[in-house]
Amino acid sequence: MKRHHVIVRITHWVNAIALTIMIGSGLRIFNAYPRFARRGETFCCYPFAGRAIPANLTFGGWLGGARNWHFAMMWVLVVNGLVYLAFIYLHGEWRDLVPRRGVVRDVGEMVKFYLTIRKDHPRQGKHNALQRMAYFSMPIVGLIAVVTGIAIWKPVQLAPLTNLMGGYVWARYWHFWSMLLLVILTLGHIFMVFTVDPYSILAMITGRYRERWSPEARNARPFVHFLPRDE
Amino acid sequence: MSEPSERRDSLRVRGVSHPAERVGIDRRRFLAATGGALGAMVLAACDSLGPRSATSLLRFAEHENESLERTLLRHTSMDVPRAGAKAAGSHFPSYFISDTVPVWDEAVRGAWRLEIGGLVSKPLQLSLADLAALPRVGYKLDHFCVEGWTAVATRTGVRLADIARLAGVQPDARYVDFQSFDKDYHESWDIESAMHPQTLVVYAQDGHYLNAAWGAPARIYSPVKLGYKNTKYLTRITFLPARNGGYWSDRGYEWYGGV
């Protein structure tokens, strides 16, 4: 039994590449006007106005190049996301991802464990409560990123959508925030994969995993208990 | 606290450290390797254009996006700025490709005329007074720049659709080219966008005749196109059977540039 179905594994890595390019090219586009205010106005809610994102965090080389990448890769991101969502809906994997009853308490127990207030790893199924929340919110934030992105792509032809978000300036702001949330979720995910469960990388590539490798069986928290216990 | 499972009790022996805890060097080595790998990835991405081989794929995507945008274009979708939006006024940016503000020098070039030509049955030469005598429309409109900024201004002028009717545009005119006297600046459009009711030959902004910084004596303006598609310092409007690229479209920005 594979830990992840082959469709989940493929869509995961396609998403990783597409999201990286979308964020890099998006930051390059942002750098052409690294503020939100309409010309002649001020904007309330962005304290870093005028400060460009460091160039080596961006992708596309220049504004036109970044736009070409952004508007091509958006289709890969959307189609791949729809394939993933359709699959987990039809195949039942969504049950491992939606929050369960008592999720607040479960998240609290995981946090206690990571802060070493609690000594033993809470019981879990395929994912712990924090993972569930992260993997559940990722597609939701992704959807917000896509919808706000469409709103600033065609603010005249799709004016009702753009107006729903408070107009072009605010839609651009929400698009920026959704990107920021995706970056935070992704960096948190990568950090936990490397410091708690590096075996999950193999599981996400080949599908191979063993129960004794799981963080629960190893009682693993970040940087602690990397190796499986002796049999 | 939750009750530890039986299995866990059997695995946990008090006072005996986990094997991983005894090999601290692994952790350090692991961190160094991870940091190195991530650093290398960032440096590799380092403001790059992406692989050359992707160019044809990006062109294909631009072509498909254009088809989608052209089906999205509705002549009933009118731009209406937000109720509270302030006009940019003197904060409205000024862009041109010449080294200095392009000014039409009558002493050198003679009186300014806007030529309407190409696939038309009655080519026209319109002076500023001729334009001002045509049916006048004024809209408070958003301006969407490719860079991501937006600005509001009131644009006054003549609907391009009205001028096209006067000139008798032929049915095989599928594209329009807007030529300027700002060096060789021009941009060509699809006819549908050109005939949008908010596509205007503009000669006044915020109630005053255009100044040199904003494209005097006349410019094309439409909220359904990104700023760079809207040629300023207009000299000639040519109706064409095929597209004719454009200053920025030939330099890598998308040709359609719809909003």
Q: ipTM of the assembly?
A: 0.90
Q: Where are the domains of chain A?
A: 6-218
* Residue A194 near chain B (CB below 8 Å): yes
d(CA B130, CA A193): 70
Cβ of A30 under 8 Å from any chain B Cβ? yes
Q: Which chain B residues touch A183 with a CB distance below 8 Å?
A: none
- Give the tens place of pLDDT for each residue, B10-22: 344 444 444 444 4
- Tally A–B CB contacts below 8 A: 169
Task: Report the DSSP pairing between strands B219-221 and B175-180.
Answer: unpaired
Query: CB of B49 within 8 Å of any CB in chain A?
Result: yes
For residue A169, which residues of chain B lie inside 8 Å, CB to CB? 82, 150
pLDDT (0 to 100) of residue B11? 40
Average pLDDT value over all residues in chain B: 87
Task: Tell me what pLDDT residue B50 has.
Answer: 77
Closest CA to B243 of B184, B185, B177: B177
pLDDT at A1: 79
Residue A101 touches chain B, beta carbons under 8 Å: no
Residues in chain B, pLDDT under 50: 1-25
Instruction: Say yes or no to pLDDT of A162 above 50.
Output: yes
> Chain B within 8 Å of A40 (Cβ-Cβ)?
yes
**Rounded-to-10 torsion of CA A152, A153, A157, A162:** -20
* pLDDT tens-digit series, residues B200-218: 999 999 999 999 999 999 9
Closest partner residue to B58 (CB to CB) among A61, A69, A172 is: A69
* CB atoms A67 and B11 under 8 Å: no
Q: Is A131 helix (H, G, I), strand (E, B) or coil?
A: helix
Interior angle at CA B76, CA B73 and CA B77, nearest 5:
60
| pLDDT in the model for residue B131 | 97
Contact A155 B142 (CB under 8 A): yes
**Cβ atoms within 10 Å, residue B199:** 25
Give one DSSP letter per residue of chain B, joined into a string: -PPPPHHHHHH--TTPPPGGGG-HHHHHHHHHHHHHHHHHHHHHHTT----GGGHHHHHHHHHHHHHHHHHH--TT------TTPPP-GGGS----SSSS-----HHHH-S--EEEEESBSS-EEE-HHHHHHSPPEEEEEEEE-TTS-EEEEEEEEEEHHHHHHHHTB-TT--EEEEEESSTT-EEEEEHHHHTSTT-EEEEEETTEEPPGGGTSS-EEE-TTB-GGGS-SSEEEEEEESS---BTTGGGTS-SS-B-
CA A178, A180, A184, A187 torsion: positive or negative?
positive
pLDDT at B1: 39
- Joined together, the tokens standing for residue B26 give 């692994």
- Mean pLDDT for chain A? 95
Quick one: closest CA in B to A112, which residue? B1
CATH class of A6-218: mainly alpha
Find the helix packing angle between A129-153 and A103-114, rounded to 10°.
110
Question: What is the residue type of A60?
Answer: G
**Is A67:A29 a contact under the CB 8 Å cutoff?**
yes
Q: How far is Cα A105 from Cα A28, in angstroms, rounded to an integer?
A: 41
